[in-house]
Chains A and B, each alone.
Chain A
């Protein structure tokens, strides 16, 4: 039941410091989910109207890459675990998942309905600002990590 999810939201790193009244607003859009290991949580190209706060387990962001990934046809670009958040596309047109999200281990997550939350943000722009601030911070961290991966710092000297 939604009421019991408030402590889960409060305990998640993403919502640290958010005022309790906003948490209760968000809870209306939240449901608890469990995904078994080796299952797809979302797939590239599908409509993205949700995001996930990971409470436990490991989720891999994958890209389908025919011929690569040692025969599996997929490359893992990042794994997310406890305290991480998966899903920015609910915020940005055209609201489609950019990657596949596949569980490596069983994942417990809070799923937040993006359409529901977007509506609440339009009604209370301060809530909107608080969420945007947090997403901007996450995006920046994600970008920095991606850049480091791109730099291929461990690569061979002659590749640099």
Chain B
């Protein structure tokens, strides 16, 4: 099993069996779980132990419908059960969300760059998620908690639209109950029965306790949320080279050939989806790039 100290931050394991990129393998659905009204986690069984790094994604394929990139959302230590948390936003994701145990999914991967946990070692780690941004971060959190002694403070900051949209509530409660981790959760709007915070994620950053000089932050969420969260992190003193984001663009081949996932000089499928903010900063400032 790979540990945090293995290799430089962007190690890329071999894609599925080195097969031509156009050929997915078919994996069976072991289990499905409804996380929110429009979010489902699929647990898939790979034909052989499948290693991936936190932050990487697979292309999931439904014959006749299409193929989409989905971040792997489970524990990298579990190579026999690969989780994907999927939000129903279109024809392919709807088909994936409707799968039942025993049915099959085409899988190609893993692709992309990973969260640089090694770079965060020795300091504080802040994992900041907005909405459907939590699944791509969860593998990093699992790995960090699995090697907890390598970090100072570990904090999870998580925002969602309403309490009903919070993903993995049982795990959130379990994480909150730990003594070696801070959990801050907020929602955009709530009814009175919600006893937690109401407000935006950047305001959580203002409230969290951390040492900016020693902090590495991993941020995923809608682009607007990421931009304002980065602003709050920078205002608090976290430097651009210690802030990492996961970017999203239209992705069709995942192998740096179809040209769709371009973001300025980057191909998100190959140079991302995880990027250091200092690489991206100037591109964020340009509209429609």
Please judge, given known A-B contacts A58-B197, A70-B193, whether A156 and B89 are in contact too, CB under 8 Å: yes
- B197 engages A79 (CB within 8 Å): yes
When distances are taken between beta carbons in the complex, the residues of chain A under 8 Å from B196 are 79
When distances are taken between beta carbons in the complex, the residues of chain B under 8 Å from A157 are 89-90
When distances are taken between beta carbons in the complex, the residues of chain B under 8 Å from A83 are 207
A71 → B minimal CB distance (Å):
8
- Nearest residue in A to B199 (C-beta to C-beta)? A78
- Nearest residue in B to A65 (C-beta to C-beta)? B191
Which positions 133-160 of chain A face chain B at CB distance < 8 Å?
141, 144-145, 148-149, 151-158
Verify if B38 is at the interface (C-beta below 8 Å from A).
Answer: yes
- Nearest residue in B to A104 (C-beta to C-beta)? B195
B88 → A minimal CB distance (Å):
9
The CA of A144 and the CA of B207, in the complex, are separated in Å by 16
Q: Can you list, as one digit per residue, whether each of B120-162 has a CB less than 8 Å from chain A (1) or not (0)?
A: 0000000000111000000000000000000000000001110
- Nearest residue in A to B203 (C-beta to C-beta)? A145
A101 → B minimal CB distance (Å):
13
Q: Pick from A60, A68, A141, A151: contact of B198, CB below 8 A.
A: A60
When distances are taken between beta carbons in the complex, the residues of chain A under 8 Å from B24 are none
User: Interface size of B by Cβ–Cβ distance < 8 Å?
Assistant: 32
- B189 engages A77 (CB within 8 Å): yes
- B199 engages A153 (CB within 8 Å): no
- A154 engages B193 (CB within 8 Å): no
A146 → B minimal CB distance (Å):
9
When distances are taken between beta carbons in the complex, the residues of chain A under 8 Å from B131 are 153-154
- Nearest residue in B to A60 (C-beta to C-beta)? B198
- Nearest residue in A to B197 (C-beta to C-beta)? A79
Q: Pick from B90, B193, B202: contact of A72, CB below 8 A.
A: B193
Q: Pick from A68, A76, A148: contact of B194, CB below 8 A.
A: A76
Which positions 52-84 of chain A face chain B at CB distance < 8 Å?
58, 60-62, 68-79, 81-83
Q: Pick from A72, A82, A152: contact of B191, CB below 8 A.
A: A72
A66 → B minimal CB distance (Å):
13
Verify if B221 is at the interface (C-beta below 8 Å from A).
Answer: yes
A44 → B minimal CB distance (Å):
14
When distances are taken between beta carbons in the complex, the residues of chain A under 8 Å from B186 are 79
When distances are taken between beta carbons in the complex, the residues of chain B under 8 Å from A104 are 195
A78 → B minimal CB distance (Å):
5
When distances are taken between beta carbons in the complex, the residues of chain B under 8 Å from A155 are 161
When distances are taken between beta carbons in the complex, the residues of chain B under 8 Å from A105 are 195
- B161 engages A154 (CB within 8 Å): yes
Q: List the one stretch of B74-82, B211-219, B222-230 in contact with chain A.
A: B222-230
Verify if B278 is at the interface (C-beta below 8 Å from A).
Answer: no
The CA of A79 and the CA of B189, in the complex, are separated in Å by 10
A84 → B minimal CB distance (Å):
9
When distances are taken between beta carbons in the complex, the residues of chain A under 8 Å from B224 are 148, 151, 153
22 A-B pairs, CB-CB below 8 angstroms? A68-B191, A72-B193, A74-B192, A75-B189, A75-B190, A79-B196, A79-B198, A102-B192, A104-B195, A141-B203, A144-B228, A145-B202, A148-B224, A149-B188, A153-B130, A153-B222, A154-B159, A154-B161, A154-B165, A154-B222, A156-B38, A156-B89
Please list the residues of chain A having a beta carbon within 8 angstroms of any beta carbon in chain B. Answer: 58, 60-62, 68-79, 81-83, 102, 104-105, 141, 144-145, 148-149, 151-158
Please list the residues of chain B having a beta carbon within 8 angstroms of any beta carbon in chain A. Answer: 38, 89-90, 130-132, 159-161, 165, 186, 188-200, 202-203, 207, 221-222, 224-225, 228
